[in-house]
Structure 1
C-alpha cells in the first residue's frame, strides 16, 4: 500500500475560505444529535414512568431519522440548503419543543409522545451529509479533501461522546426535558449559522459559479473517471462497508459488556474498554487524514474493513478485560478510516448534484448496521461462546470487505452522463 506523508496540516483545512465558519456552525448544530437521544430517554422515562415506552419512543425517533435521511438529503441536492435545511430545522426544533413540553412533568400521554418523536425524527436536518457536500466543493485538492473528511469524522465522534456528558450536567440542575430544549436550540441556531456561511447551493453548478472563493472544480485523483453510482446513489461497496462497520461496532460494544459479566469483572471497567474503542477510532481517523494515499479509495476501504474484521475475530481470545481493552483500541483504529474512506468513495461516485444524498446513504448504512448489530448480538449472546460471537462479528466485516473486491460494472454499461471538469472519460483507475 503506497503512501507518503504530506506537509499540509489539519490547520490548512480550516484556512480554506468559508471552511472554519461553516464547520463550526455545523458542529454546533450536529451536537444536538449527541444530546437528543439521552435527553429523550431520560425525559420520556420520567414522564411516563416506563422504560419500555421510553425505548419505543427512542426507536421510533431513530428509525425516522435514519431511514428517511436520503430523502431529506435529496431535497438539499435539489433545492439547496437555504430552501431545504431551514424549514427542516424549524420543524425539527418546533417538534422537539413540543416533546419537551409534553415530558416536562410526569403523566405524559405515551401515544402523543411517540407520534411527536417520530415526526421530529422525520424532519431532522441531515447536517453531516450537507457539511461533507460543502467540503467537496470548498476543497479542490483530493489529499486535502481526505484530511477534511478525516477532521469531520473525528469531530463528529467527539460530539457523540460530549453530548451525553452535557445532558448529564444539565440534568443535575433542571428537568431532563431541558436537554430536549437544548437540542432544539443547538440545531436551529447552528443550522441557521451554517446556511448563512454557505455562498450558494453545495453540489450544484450554481455553487461554483457564484463562489469566487471556491478554488475551482475538484479533479478526481489520478485524473480518471470513477464508476458512477446508479441514479445518484454512491458505489454499493461504500454503503455495504458502512453497514458492516456499523454492525460490527454495535455488536462489539454489547460483546464487551457480556465479556466483563462472564469473567466477573467490575462493571465500572466496561466504559474503559468502550472508551478505548472510541479513542482508537479518533486516533486512526487523524492518522488516516494525515497520510496522502496513492492507493484507490475503493481498495483502501476494503482493506480497512478487512483489518477491522480480523481484529474483532481475534478479540474473543483475550484472556482478560484489560487485554480486550487494548484489542478494542486496535479495532477502533480502523473504524474512522473505513467510514471516512466510505464517504470519500461516495463523493467520488456520486452523480453531479447528488453528493448530499450519496453521503446520506452511507450514514444510513452505518445506522442501519448499528440497529441490526444490536439485534444480532442479543440473539448470539448466551447461545454461543463469546469467542465464537466475536469471530462471527469479525466475519461480518470481512464479508463486506470481500464484497468490495468484485469491481462492479457501470450501470447499464454507460459512462456517467456529465463527468466533472478535469476528469477523463475512460477506464477506472487500477487499484
Structure 2
C-alpha cells in the first residue's frame, strides 16, 4: 500500500505532456555520467597498469568539468537547451574516441589528460531536466518540490546502477567497453532529450541594450549554497574512499560496493519520501535543518568505524547517513531556482553542481592520504568534519538564504517570453 501511494503521488508529475519523454531521455545521459569514472579507472589500470595515472587523469576531467559546466549552462540560458545540447553531445564523441585510440596505440600519458579534459563539455542533463520541471510547474510550488525530490532520487539510482554496469562491461567484455557504452548512452540521451522541444523552457526576454546580468555568483545566496555544496561534495568523496579502504583493511574489499550502495539507497528513499511532505517552512530554513541533520547522522559511520563495530553495523550507519543528504540537495536546488532569475537557471545550477564536483575530488584526495597513514575507520572523521563545515557555512550565510523568500520563482512568470529569433 505505501508503495502504491508513493507511485500515485509521483504519477501526477507526468500528467504534463512530454514529461515522461524528457525524463527517460535524460536518464540515459545521467546513467552514462555515472559510468565514466569507474570505466576510466578500470581502462587505464588494465591497459597502462597504473591506478595513480588513472586517478590523476580522472581528476583532470573533474577540474575541467567544474569549469566547463557553468560555461555551458550560460550558453543554454542564452540560446536554449536544444541549440546547445546537440552540438555539445556530438562534440564529446571526438575526444572520447581520441582517448580510446591513444590508449590502444600507446600514446604518451599527456595525451590522455588532454583528451579526458576535453571531453568534459558534456551537457548537464540533470540541470536541464530540473529547469524543465520548474517551467512546467512554475505556478505550483508543491509540484516543483515533488519534481526536485524525484530528480534527486534519479541521481541516486544512476549512481547506484552506473558503476555496477560499467564494471560488468569492463570485466566481462573488454576494458574499453565501459567508456564505449557510456559515450553511446550519453550522446543518445542528450540528442533524444534535446528533441523534446515542447517541454523546453522558452528563452526569457532579451536584455535591454547595455544591460548586463553578470555571473550568478553575484547573488550572495548562491555563493553560500555553492560553498555548502562544496563541503557536501567532500562528504561524498571522503565517504567513498574511506569505505573502500576500511573494507579492504578488514579483508572484505568486495563489500565496499554494497556498502556504498546503501548510502545511495538511503538517499534515494529519503528523496522520494521527502517529496511527499508538504513544505511548511521557507526553503532557507529547510536547508539549514537538512544540513544540520546531515552533520548529525554522519557521526554514526565515524562511531561505527572507530569502534570496530563491523561491516553490518557500518552498513546500517551508512544507510542512515544517506537519508540526510537527499533532503539537503533537494532543498538546495529549490533555493537555486528561487534565488536566481529564470534567465540564469541553468548556469546557476551548473555552478552549484561544480561546487559538488570540486568537493568530491578534494574529499577523495584527502581521504586517500589519510587512509594510508591512519588506522582503519579514522577516515570517517573527514565526512563528519566536512558536514560540520557545511553547517557552519550555511549558518554563517543564513540571512542570504532567507532573501530568497522575498523573490519567489513565480515572480518572474509574467516576464517570460519566447524569443522571436528562435
**57 and 339 in structure 1: CA distance in 2 versus 1, 3 angstrom threshold:** same
**386 and 311 in structure 1: CA distance in 2 versus 1, 3 angstrom threshold:** farther
**393 and 149 in structure 1: CA distance in 2 versus 1, 3 angstrom threshold:** same
Q: What is the rounded CA distance, in whole Å, between the counterparts of 1:408 and 1:155 in structure 2?
A: 31
Q: What is the rounded CA distance, in whole Å, between the counterparts of 1:299 and 1:385 in structure 2?
A: 38
Q: What is the rounded CA distance, in whole Å, between the counterparts of 1:407 and 1:67 in structure 2?
A: 26
**Alignment partner of 2:389 out of 384, 391, 399:** 399
Deviation at 1:396, TM superposition (A): 2.6
Query: Aligned residue for 1:117?
Result: 116
TM-score for the superposition, normalised by structure 2: 0.83
C-alpha offsets along residues 343-371 of structure 1, whole Å, 9 cap, x if unaligned? 11111101230001111112112111111
* 1:25-104 pair list within 5 angstroms: 25-103=25-103
Q: What is the rounded CA distance, in whole Å, between the counterparts of 1:293 and 1:206 in structure 2?
A: 31
* 1:235-274 pair list within 5 angstroms: 235-260=222-247, 264=250, 266-274=252-260
* 1:376-395 pair list within 5 angstroms: 376-381=366-371, 389-391=379-381, 393-395=383-385
C-alpha offsets along residues 124-162 of structure 1, whole Å, 9 cap, x if unaligned? 112121111111101231111111111111112211222
Contact 2:242/2:377 (CA < 8 Å) preserved in 1? no
2:230 is the counterpart of 1:196: no
Which of 398-407 and 335-344 deviates more? 398-407
Query: Aligned residue for 2:333?
Result: 343
How many residues in Structure 1 have an aligned counterpart in Structure 2? 394
* 1:181-220 pair list within 5 angstroms: 181-199=180-198, 202=201, 204-205=203-204
Q: What is the rounded CA distance, in whole Å, between the counterparts of 1:184 and 1:6 in structure 2?
A: 33
**394 and 167 in structure 1: CA distance in 2 versus 1, 3 angstrom threshold:** closer
C-alpha offsets along residues 243-279 of structure 1, whole Å, 9 cap, x if unaligned? 22211122223333444455x3533333332222111
Deviation at 1:115, TM superposition (A): 1.1
2:264 is the counterpart of 1:278: yes
C-alpha offsets along residues 169-225 of structure 1, whole Å, 9 cap, x if unaligned? 333554322332222222222111111113375363379xxxxxxxxxxxxxxxxxx
Q: What is the rounded CA distance, in whole Å, between the counterparts of 2:344 and 2:220 in structure 1?
A: 8
C-alpha offsets along residues 16-70 of structure 1, whole Å, 9 cap, x if unaligned? 2221111111111222212222222233334434333222222222221123211
* 1:3-14 pair list within 5 angstroms: 9-14=9-14
RMSD: 3.1
C-alpha offsets along residues 297-330 of structure 1, whole Å, 9 cap, x if unaligned? 1111111111111121243222333222111111
Contact 1:77/1:357 (CA < 8 Å) preserved in 2? yes
TM-score for the superposition, normalised by structure 1: 0.82
Q: What is the rounded CA distance, in whole Å, between the counterparts of 1:174 and 1:42 in structure 2?
A: 12
Q: What is the rounded CA distance, in whole Å, between the counterparts of 2:272 and 2:199 in structure 1?
A: 30
**175 and 233 in structure 1: CA distance in 2 versus 1, 3 angstrom threshold:** farther
**Alignment partner of 2:125 out of 109, 112, 127:** 127
Q: What is the rounded CA distance, in whole Å, between the counterparts of 2:400 and 2:34 in structure 1?
A: 39
Mark the runs of 5 or more structure 2 residues left unpaired by the alignment: 207-214, 415-422
